[in-house]
Structure 1
């Protein structure tokens, strides 16, 4: 049975309960054949001491959306996904509103995946550029 887009996003968001994603209020909001989009509110909960979005929260958003993207496009009956490495270049600060992370595949191999994740604000200004590599490993029977 194939899930609808709404059902797939709902499942991803339900899977985030009692995790870092729930703590940071990260929500998966859109996906297509080779991308996934998540959003996170920018509130004092994700600020650094001087009142702007913490780079670690941005990296957590990027890794969350990238890992979920790899998970969605992987045979999860037989495989599981883990992050290998993430890099983040923070280009602009933001104090409030939402940030959006769009993960797109640069490489979608059977074992390794490489994702480009662009984090933008509500006006589509680029906040951070991240790269995430993931690995798909067989589940033990």
Structure 2
């Protein structure tokens, strides 16, 4: 059973998946930092010095200046500013992944377009595969037209 697990764990797809998860996690942290530390402060500045991380609805009777203060007091809050940060975070990550996949698909299409020339053709009489340069079908012995005869 240990041998089977080792074979399973070391298959190329599993290792590729593990690498993808690690890189994806690191990429997610970078994008989250980009959103929280660069984009949202600039958006907040443009909208009149609004700190999106502190946008929340307080459902208690006491007023709190910041979300951290409300959380520390145990107040029930609806944190729509943090939700907006998460939505923007998701959109940036989704767009980035879309862009990478689109580029990979473009490279795959280029590889598919470069196909080797066909080595066989089909006999029009017996529908057998025959060498492309054949002038007579080896299966039905029909005389075939060549490209020079056209």
Say whether the fold is shared (TM-score over 0.5).
Answer: no
TM class, shorter-chain normalised?
under 0.3
The structure carrying a bigger helix percent of its residues is 2
Larger Rg: 2
* TM-score between the two structures when normalised by the length of structure 2: 0.25
